[in-house]
Chain A
């Protein structure tokens, strides 16, 4: 077998891999679309305008934070707690960006676009691929394909949900108020992987409920950041001891 044959085998393999990545990216886009419809509908029935709802999907473009912002505002929480909860949830994207930067190697305008597409789905699809054997080619394609696919489907779905919301009438009849916590538990579910994460999660839930009658809506959720800080300090201290 000559070197040339090996090369063309590699290219054939790449063609197949490339197609699989694009198909997967489209699949992820379709999956988040349903969530996007519920975001659009919940946001508009909760009192945001169609324009505000759409701008969140286009410019904020990180589902958990969008739902948090809208959820806290709908619940009557103030501006500050809505923004703080939303931004703190979006902070995880900074770590995704940190993981993606050495693989993407982008600068200037491309970096600005890559930053916007740095979310749960695009990072998960990209980091699942080894960068050693192909210098990150598949990983980069997975990132861009998934990011663009999710962006397009998420925004179309938001518009559909936002425009359809007015036709729905009372969101409670359709159980849309129950869709919000269901969306949050589905988002956190993959992270509840061990006893420690369950302890953090259930403690935070309990703290939020205990504080709910005492403080303005939105503030109890915000204060559970203290639970995360305490868990972090404990983990670092325990590791230092061992």
Chain B
């Protein structure tokens, strides 16, 4: 079985275990202040790290390409309170336009 299959299976099991665990564990574990604070901060840290890496990295190299324009457009859309769908489409369209016009690779 390929590594991708293992990744799909293991991550799926892990994510479901988290969901079921919350329905099953004693409240006192999850209500410990440190657990709660870390788990509030965890999605913010991981998602912002993913934003940075998915915008600026190609493998282990840092580059500036059309994705930066896409991210900028996404932020503008978010500031204008655009719904999720619009944010994603605007970002993709902006990056595509920058490439089409030859302003960025």
Contacts and interface: CB of A to CB of B under 8 A. Distances in A.
Interface in A174-215: 174-189, 191-192, 197, 200-209, 212-215
Given A98-B30, A178-B67, A181-B67, A209 B52 contact: yes
Given A32-B84, A34-B88, A114-B23, A231 B37 contact: yes
Contacts of A184: 47-48, 50-51, 54
A85 B85 contact: no
Contacts of A167: none
B44 A192 contact: yes
A20 interface: no
A52 B5 CA distance: 7
A229 B38 contact: yes
A214 B59 CA distance: 11
Interface stretch (A10-18, A65-73, A131-139): A65-73
A83 B2 CA distance: 14
B53 interface: yes
Contacts of A200: 41, 44-45, 48
- Could you say which of B12, B45, B70 has the most chain A C-beta atoms within 10 Å of its C-beta? B45
- Looking at chain B, what size class is its interface with the partner chain? 35 or more
A177 B67 contact: yes
B101 interface: no
A115 B16 CA distance: 7
Contact of A217 (B52, B57, B84): B57
A90 to B, nearest CB: 4
A16 B20 CA distance: 32
Interface string B66-105: 1101110111001000011101111111111101100000
A91 B29 CA distance: 14
Interface string B11-52: 110111011111111010011011011111111111111111
B74 A181 contact: yes
A230 to B, nearest CB: 9
Contacts of B73: 182
Nearest to B55: A181
Query: Which 8 pairs, one residue from A and one from B, show the smallest C-beta to C-beta distance?
Result: A97-B22, A178-B70, A182-B91, A175-B95, A178-B95, A94-B22, A232-B38, A87-B14
11 contacts: A60-B8, A60-B11, A64-B47, A83-B10, A83-B11, A177-B67, A178-B96, A186-B74, A188-B47, A231-B38, A236-B34
Given A86-B15, A93-B18, A178-B74, 8 more contacts: A75-B54, A75-B59, A89-B46, A175-B94, A184-B47, A188-B48, A212-B53, A239-B33
